[in-house]
Amino acid sequence: MGIEIERKFLVTGDGWRLQAATQTRFSQGYLSRDPARTVRIRIAGDVAFLTIKGLTRGATRAEFEYPVPLADAQALLTMCDGPVVEKVRHLCPHAGMTWEVDEFLGANAGLVLAEIELESEGQSFVPPAWLGAEVTGDGRYVNANLAVRPFTSWVAPSGASGRAETGS
């Protein structure tokens, strides 16, 4: 068991692409989308994991993760509740920390989210120039919800956009 402390942000513009060191294609679905006991199956490149998460309190969430055979994961994705979420995860090193920038595909195309994992809720970090509004705790951006209420289905103007508008 681990504890996940994570903050999530929108991004502004494409500047993060210059910092992206690695890209990995993710396909993930949910056997349970209940926020008290989310069960996610994820294929990340050519490996796969089963991940169970508990309720989020602040930016903190209990997390259990187990590797599973790729063939199992492919079969489990077909058993999921709702469509599979497809995205590319870019790892962007910045000021001694690593940002995970998720560029969503398919029904969530246009959405880009940046996440950072912290040691404690109060830990400070240097925000990159492309960091937009924080959406930690905003249920719309939870991947389990994006599976069934994808970004492209959101009614505009909803006050929510994947990329914050710039002045130019």
Cβ-based nearer residue to a copy of itself, 29 or 128: 29
Cβ-based nearer residue to a copy of itself, 31 or 105: 31
Rounded least distance, CB 139 to a copy of itself, Å: 19
Asked if 86 and 66 touch (Cβ cutoff 8 Å), the reply is no
Cβ-based nearer residue to a copy of itself, 64 or 98: 64
For residue 58, CA distances in Å to 6, 71, 101 come to 9, 35, 21
| Residue 119 tokens, joined | 């040691």
| Per-position b or e across 107-136, b if 16+ CB within 10 A of its CB | bbeebbbbbbebeeeeeeeeebebbbeebe
- Per the annotation, the verdict on 30 as an active-site residue is yes
Asked if 41 and 29 touch (Cβ cutoff 8 Å), the reply is yes
The one catalytic residue among 9, 16, 30, 104: 30
Cβ-based nearer residue to a copy of itself, 52 or 91: 52
For residue 124, CA distances in Å to 95, 96, 117 come to 11, 12, 11
Asked if 80 and 41 touch (Cβ cutoff 8 Å), the reply is yes
Rounded least distance, CB 36 to a copy of itself, Å: 7
Which stretches of the chain bind a copy of itself, using CB under 8 A?
1, 31-32, 34, 36-37, 39, 50, 52, 54, 62, 64, 66, 68, 71-72, 75-76, 79-81
For residue 138, CA distances in Å to 8, 135, 141, 149 come to 9, 5, 6, 13
Rounded least distance, CB 122 to a copy of itself, Å: 25
Rounded least distance, CB 54 to a copy of itself, Å: 5
Which residues participate in catalysis according to the annotation?
Answer: 30
